[in-house]
Amino acid sequence: MTINWNQGLIREHTPLWSSLIALSMDNYASVFFPFNFSFKHFKKKGQRVYFSQDEIDEFSSLLKDEFSKDFYFIGGVVDNYIDAIEKLKKSCKNLQQKNFSNITTEDYRKSFDSFLPVIGMTVPLAYCLDFFIIKKLKCLLQEEFGKKAEDVLNTLSYSCKNPLSSKAHHDILRAATESNMNEQAKMLSKKYGWLNIRHFDGEPHSSEYYERLLQELSKNNAKEKLREYEFNQKKLHESAEKVISSIKNPITKYIAELIRKLIYVRTEKKDSLNLFGYSIKIMLQEVGKQLSISDPRYVTYWETLKCLENKSTFPEKVVIERKRGYDCLYNGKEFIIRKSEKYNDVKEYEHLTVLNGQTAYAGKVKGLCCVIKTKAELEKMQFGCVLITSYTSPQYVPAVSKSIALVTDEGGITSHAAIISREMKKPCVIGTKIATKVLKDGDLVEVDANKGVVRKL
């Protein structure tokens, strides 16, 4: 059977994370929807993650059929998913307090109970529900607002409430205006340090990190930045509410409100998964001690269960090899993991000087590029540069705040990059697909986010 894979996304997944995606796909995608469907295929090749385009198309077709019967059902899906996110956040508190000494297979399984439903919605949410709802809303807005439909959609594309990472950014800006930076840094580390963990990778930001960040912000007019951020958030919220109140078609109004919920969900999901990654660290450390595994994140879910059941260890040489890179494939029946091959497709893009994408926040600026390909490179971001990256997540917020513009390979109008650029009023072009391959550190570019174009000068 030949699989028609989608274009793939750049992601830094550990083997444990990849195996949990595979576990969640065919068990939890149907939990939130009124029809039975299982995603069966997933692979990681190099740093790219792929899903079956045929399965995405089939699920989208079922979504369309259900919508034709009852368009209100999607609101129930989104509300139930928000409940699942809240359950995950509550379970994180319990995990942080639990004693995991002498961990059993049952302890290990139960630790992921609230995590799996949330991660299991990754494909239905990002590849199906978002695209379907936005496409439907565009058509309805076109009928009611005509040529102004695109502007109306951009106005509506703002979260119904602040996710955790947006609250963190506000608190960081506020702390930078205070005199007791040492105490503020300790508070931020305790409250938000976990935001630096993604896919079980990374360490919580220390108070030293936050103190350096606060000092940098204080030198760059933190009070003005805080005022601007608060004013812009209020304005974005009021503008979205004003547009919704002006919509006459009740179905259009309902979907417009739903879009704002989805935007909140997209970021809050990432935040809650990061919090879980922090909360599970103690358990993973105990697994490592008990089974003499140096880094349990590089052992799959099923491999760890087998080791716990047999009270056996796992080959250290395999852990070391996977840290250098690994590929994996899930076919609905088995999870296959092997040594990664080397991939390099940069040369074919070197001659390009113009990139096209989608406007997330309008504006036009010129500046020097700072290309961030991995989370480890975030600290090289300098104030006044154009941030070039594959995608953004909550860990990228301090880097975005330093930038004069943002350009991404991936993303749509509900993506994290689009949301954060609107909050910070940064010109932003999303979905260029190849910006990180074409551009290098120090390249001078013009970001014309009015037209969704990036030019290398």
Closest by alpha carbon to 395, among 375, 415, 409, 381? 375
Contact 211, 182 (CB under 8 A): yes
The answer on 313 and 226 residing in a single domain is no
User: Residue 173 is which amino acid?
Assistant: L
Per-residue pLDDT tens listing for the chain (457 residues): 689 998 778 888 999 999 999 999 876 777 888 888 889 999 998 888 999 999 999 999 999 999 888 888 999 999 999 999 999 999 999 999 998 888 999 999 999 999 999 999 988 888 888 888 998 999 999 999 999 998 899 899 889 999 999 999 999 999 999 999 999 999 999 999 999 998 898 899 999 999 999 999 998 889 999 999 999 999 999 999 999 999 999 999 999 999 999 999 989 999 999 999 999 999 999 999 999 999 999 999 999 999 999 999 999 999 999 999 999 999 988 999 998 876 555 556 767 899 999 999 999 999 999 999 888 899 899 999 999 999 998 889 999 999 999 999 998 888 889 989 998 999 999 999 889 989 999 999 999 999 999 999 9
Side-chain half-sphere CA neighbours of 19 within 13 A: 21
Rounded Cα distance between 198 and 259, Å, is: 25
- Say which residues have a Cβ less than 8 Å from residue 130's Cβ, sequence separation at least 6: 262, 266, 412, 414
CATH number at residue 374: 3.50.30.10
3-state class (DSSP) for residue 9: strand
The answer on 442 and 356 residing in a single domain is yes
Work out the angle at residue 308's Cα, subtended by the Cα atoms of residues 116 and 288, and round it to the nearest 5 degrees.
85
Closest by alpha carbon to 291, among 121, 200, 299, 47? 299
Residue 407 in domain = yes
Closest by alpha carbon to 394, among 260, 204, 236, 197? 197
User: Residue 47 is which amino acid?
Assistant: Q
- Based on its alpha-carbon atoms, the radius of gyration of the chain, rounded to whole angstroms, reads 22
Of the three residues 246, 277, 308, the one that is the final residue of a domain is 277
The answer on 206 and 308 residing in a single domain is no
Residue 156 in domain = no
Beta bridge partners of 361: 428
The answer on 354 and 320 residing in a single domain is no
The answer on 93 and 37 residing in a single domain is yes
The answer on 352 and 261 residing in a single domain is no
User: Residue 140 is which amino acid?
Assistant: L
Beta bridge partners of 387: 370, 406
Which pTM was predicted?
A: 0.89
Q: Which domain holds residue 59?
A: 9-120+280-339
Contact 282, 100 (CB under 8 A): yes
Rounded Cα distance between 27 and 23, Å, is: 7
Rounded Cα distance between 372 and 392, Å, is: 10
**CA-to-CA separations, 140 to 71, 133, 150, in angstroms, rounded:** 13, 11, 11
The answer on 81 and 56 residing in a single domain is yes
